[in-house]
A and B are shown apart, each in its own frame.
Chain A
Amino acid sequence: MFYRESGEYKTDYKRDMTLYALPISRFSVGLMVLLFFVAAPLLLGEYQLTLLSLVAIAVVGALGLNILVGYAGQLSIGHAAFMSVGAYTAANLVTKLDMPFLLTLPAGGLMAAAIGLVVGIPSLRIKGIYLAIATLAAQFIIEWIINHSPSISGGVQASIEIDRPTILGWKLDQAVELYMFLVTIAAIAIVCTQNLIRSRIGRAFIAIRDQDIAAEIIGISVFKYKLYAFGISSFYAGVTGVLYTYYLGIASYEQFTLVVSIDYLAMIIIGGLGSILGSVLGAFFITLLPIGIRLFMENVGSLFLEPEALASIISQMRLIVFGSLIIIFLIMEPEGLNRLWINIRNYFRVWPFSY
């Protein structure tokens, strides 16, 4: 958020090391809380809240992928597969064991983490694009296994329907209730990630990303930490999958295909690799982009296109805009929306002086 450090002096390290050390950052955090926890539920309609709920879920998934790719530097294009593991774990626990939401949520995360650890094993030997291919293989293998095991996928449709979540007897069946819950989870995920990144484990991730040999030499067991990154990232993905499942009322592998993995990569690339704010911005951007495109095309495109042609173009537009944006960001602003934001912030930080 907007920082002005001047006039703030820290007297001890503990204070200096708190998450929101400056009054201005505490202020902006307060503002965000007010915006998303008070203003949004009061002012927004059901449709908008449903959209924001989707964004909140995507925030969790994007944070998870950014831990692995942005912070630990291990490229993965199998993120959605771990979501499906979480989704089907929860759906099965609900339908077979009648487990409550508060248990299925971590259970889905843990199961995905376990699978993530296994998928992370090749990272001992292979790096970069080769590792990415290995995760791509995992994406297809996991998809295939779920699809071909009726005991997991629940039969021919390979989908399991479940009821809206209930927390300690309180059923979240209103859009606003679900929204409040999901935005809380997203907030928790953000704080947890911030803590992780600023502490010993997160620093080790960044060290591995920047200089894996030096990291090993200063005492970081690189392989162990790569596995940690896979495990933690997959845990977030698993939780994301569980949340999608409750949100949609159904666990379906079609929600977790390769395209979704790419969507999430797009979120963190456009948002900003190795940035928490970037993960959030990216989740907003990519989740709301299709809706933006549709609104735009319906209002502007309808001026010169037939309705049928319009419908087919809208679905294509998404891919085109998407692909172009990824390329533009990779070339022009590799650090994503987060960097744009920092540039704006730095401008105002010293405003009205230009340097």
Chain B
Amino acid sequence: MLDVSNGGGESDAILSVRSVAKSFGGVQAVKEVSLDVERGSIFSIIGPNGAGKTSLVNMISGFYKADQGSITFDGTELIGKRPSQIAEQGIARTFQNIALFHGLTVLDNLMLGRHVRMKSGILSSILYWGAAQKEEVEHRKRAEEIIDFLRITDLRRMTTGELAYGLQKRVELGRALALDPTLLLLDEPMAGMNQEEKEDMVRYVLDVNAEFGTTIVLIEHDMGVVMDISDHIVVLDQGEKIADGTPDVVKADPAVIRAYLGASHLQD
């Protein structure tokens, strides 16, 4: 399906995580995890419930501050930066539990996704004259492109609270895409979806990766999907990285099989 191979000699990592750890009180959610995400790839993080996947992504997007280690994105250290500064670097994400702005329309949610790409300050916004208006129109165009891409044209004027769960997940992807991210973090984008919605979402993820060249870090429990679309997989268990490699390598790894059997989480 995709030909971004991972085997060749020198790697071009857009994101490098080095010995990152995070604990909450007594719970060590993430223990000394290191990984490299190759530019332009689809990189999946899997593992049983409570393995530390979300915590790791939260550290990348700056929502949690890592206790130790380093996270570099395109050579820039991310640890210590505020989430909004990390977004400005071109990193967008979706949430395991949908976090849309329910008081706003689909369109406005997407426009908010473009916040860091816009500049208008207070005064020009209040006057809504010249530059501010031009900027709104320009960015509206990009938002509409994403709306077309995700085929949610007839929903654009609806407030997101009115939408069905599957559509909310799609709009949340749209809001993340609106940033024009170079790195997109997706935390279980297909959870709770029916088969058809899942297939749609997989399609969008692949298209985003192929059309926009966006690097994707994906957390997902559906093994079928993960094995199908990932270029590279990292497996976490109880905060530790237990495997790291291509789908074929990971599938055959005894430690992975053990972790999944132990957590009785094996899906065909």
Residues of A within 8 A of B (CB): 13-14, 17, 19, 192, 195-196, 198-204, 206-207, 209-211, 213-222, 228, 232, 274
Contacts and interface: CB of A to CB of B under 8 A. Distances in A.
Given A195-B125, A222-B84, A200 B99 contact: no
Contacts of A201: 120-122, 125
B113 interface: yes
B93 A209 contact: no
A211 B100 contact: yes
A204 B144 CA distance: 19
B95 interface: yes
Interface stretch (B4-12, B14-22, B28-36, B133-141): B133-141
B260 interface: no
Residue of B63, B115, B135 contacting most chain A CB atoms (<10 Å): B115
Contacts of A210: 100-104
Interface residues of B, number: 42
A182 B113 CA distance: 38
A219 B122 contact: no
Interface string B102-121: 11100010011101101011
Given A17-B136, A201-B125, A207-B101, 18 more contacts: A13-B144, A199-B128, A199-B132, A199-B136, A201-B122, A203-B112, A203-B115, A204-B115, A209-B103, A210-B104, A211-B100, A211-B101, A213-B63, A217-B84, A218-B116, A218-B179, A219-B115, A220-B84
B41 interface: no
A136 B203 CA distance: 53
B256 interface: no
Interface in B74-101: 82-84, 87-88, 92-93, 95, 99-101
B126 interface: yes
B164 interface: no
A113 B144 CA distance: 36
Contacts of A19: 128
10 contacts: A192-B127, A196-B125, A207-B104, A207-B112, A209-B103, A211-B100, A215-B101, A215-B112, A217-B83, A221-B84
Contact of A14 (B61, B118, B120, B133): B133
A274 B159 CA distance: 15
Nearest to A208: B101
Nearest to B103: A210
Contacts of A204: 112, 115
B115 A218 contact: yes
Contacts of B126: 192, 195-196
B137 A203 contact: no
